[in-house]
Structure 1
Amino acid sequence: MDVVFPHTFVPWFRAVAPHIHAYRGKTFVVGITGEMIEAGKLNAFVQDLAILQAMGVRIALVHGFRPQVTEQLRAKGHVSRFHKGMRITDSVALDCAQEAAGQLRFEIEAAFSQGLPNTPMANATVRVVSGNFLTARPVGIVEGVDMMHSGVVRKVDAAGIRMAMDGGALVLLSPFGFSPTGEAFNLSMEDVATSTAIALQADKLLFLTEVAGIRESLEDPESPIDTELALADAERLLAQLPEASSPADTGFYLRYCVRACAGGVERSHILPFAVDGALLMEVFTHDGIGTMVVDEKLESLREADADDVGGILQLIEPFERDGTLVKRDRNEIEREIHHYTVIEHDGVIFGCAALHPYPEARTGEMAALTVSASVQGQGDGDRILKHVEQRARAMGLSSVFVLTTRTMHWFIKRGFVQVEPDWLPEARKRKYNWDRRSQVLVKRLG
């Protein structure tokens, strides 16, 4: 039996709670490659997907089948042919694609039907619905090459998919579509997933792929993964890259992410299926694990409003408990919410500070400067400080001051100098807690 350590489990579970609340009722379209299934990752992935659905996320799952079709063709002594990264689907390849799709749908449905005790699937009831949700058209002839039965998505039956989701089902889509005359076309998983996400105006499109994401340096294959790309930056990067002809090429999945975001999908993600739990890490942690393309930067630095009170309380509570901050009650924060600046990421508050002005002394107190322990060291504290200083200047204040018992050196490095408590404005001096013996630090504003 696994041992549960409350000192690590409880803070972690509380940390993911805001994400759970934020994603309830949201729509995710998830695309998985045939390579992921071939690598034996299906069962663990299905368990993670079932957890998401149990938390109220509406899910459409699209599977790929490149290696499975190639294996079927090889068994029949037929050679796989591609043009510009797309399979040329002759009649034999079409038969192989249909066989592979049928087998994979069987495996996926079986995986969702597991209910073994002591696994994430215990007590899970995941109803999987498939159907003729896709209308397709032929690719036709590309640069003189007849693509035969290869197609692209013409239309997605978004109403039908939503109806299935409304009934609590997970919708499973294979990369197959039919023309109005009933002709079958082999589609790509990426095209199906992207078209479906746009048609549903999904909140997220997530690709579980053989690549780790987009590297910060295209010249250095060992450089860190760029965890967030603004749509404009992704478009510029894509324009610099050669046309992708393989899923391993940097631009292959990126072009679908860009297309999705340009089509109204809020966020699109490239995740490595090789990392166990990549889907959960991307959804429930601050920086995720892969690359996310978003129409605008998710991190927002702004003045707080009444809806932020709960988030601020949750953020500062651990620091009040260990004595770093003076305890503030909800009524006090609600009364003074207009004094607060917050920094949020994906709807979750990760930092805050208050500016209490003393206009008669042309100064203001910066209080409750807090950055979540999960993101410390990433510069959020500096960004909040800069915003507070800008607010102070706009009020006509010539300085800001802080009272601290533990973070004196952080402020000194940022231009604050220590003064005696007698320096404080009279109104603040009357509330000074001599037992706490907080140090007073002041920064002059240029």
Structure 2
Amino acid sequence: MCQFISSISKQDLRLLYSRGFISEKRKILERLGILEQVFEKFIDAENNTEPIKNAELIELFDSCSDNTKNIEELTKTLLKISPGNGTIGFSQVNFLVDYLRQKVWKYLQDKRYNLDLTPHDHAFGSGGDFIKTIHATTHASIIAAPLVTICKTGTGNVTSPHGSSQAMIELGYNHIQVHPSSLKELLASYNFAFVSLADLGFPYSDKLREARKQLWHQNVMEINCRYKPTKENWQEILKKIDIPINIDIFKIVAPNAQVLNPVHHSTGVCHLGMIPYVLGIYLHLGSQGIIYHCYDGIDEISNACVNPVKDIPNNLIIKVDSENITIAEFSPEDIGLERASIEEIKGERELKEEVNIFWEILQGEKQHFKTKRDFLVANAGLLLVAGEKVPNLHEDIVSQLKTGVNIAENLIDSGKSGKNFRQLLLALNNQQL
């Protein structure tokens, strides 16, 4: 068993976000496993940050919504507000989280939307850009819904062929816009609802999406030119690069602002360098839930891996409770799944084909799409653990996740997940909500 599990109090972890030398924080850093070097780089960057003034930060952030700006101008703006760039630290990220929450709250007030929702959990992937996988977080939420009430949010595509909003529409979910009464009824009756972030007043536009794509392609080109990665050294290179060279602020702030105030918030990151900023938001908002990452550059946990060697860990989760942080590193084998090739979980170019595969899986198909099914149940199991819906909460986090995977399997095989989602779609189509 190639596991690393460590528990740290929130009080201790907050010391890593305070000003001071790394030597003063060494005892805490040594308990972080693979995150030790990540936080060392983060602390060094924070100590060398000369923060931008809040007024200028707001002006830059708001200018991302300016339709008069061209894509090149927006890309330059994204670079100016990229965390870790010397002027944007974790405090500025948290400031933008608060600012965005206030903007969304005002937007909803102006629309006269009362979103006093049923207590629910939330899940969001920041974008599995390095490996374009199937829509695991969205599909996993549907699988887990009979046991976990989830209000899933999502966006259109930025660097992938299609985003979760497009996937939900293709599945037949035609209410991605905000309908307060519908949201409440869906969560109460079916434990699941989906909302487009754009319809909550988040600053998304076609030009901004293109600028974010351009920023990402610059990152990829930089990595390829500087490191010349191959399949054999891909994970090691991805672990040691200092970024993704320039972090997209919208991958940090928007998914984690948690404007609907979930009970548990689970979020995926595609690069280790994003974790200190995302974890800082959890501490700032007092959030509970899980942050997750696959070392191949996926914003989910994965049964598939570039490295074919069994029992080599490829996943990292950080569970945030009311008082403590649990960090765990584990392999597919640790949670009862077979290791597979990374190629087997990549998304289909045609969205319709990908959605058809999900329907097959939801109906109990095990053989033709086994690897994709395992990928989805791994992430559904994760949501069950985040929502504390597994019976062995007294055991270590990896054992809990293994149990969550088994429960997710049973939700599919018993027909509960499929029946629940089909009934939800039927209710929408019959306009009963």
**Common fold: TM-score over 0.5:** no
Which of the two has greater helix per residue?
A: 2
TM-score (norm 2): 0.28
If asked which structure has higher relative contact order (CA below 8 Å, sep 6+), I would say 2
The structure number with the bigger radius of gyration is 1
Which of the two has greater strand per residue?
A: 1
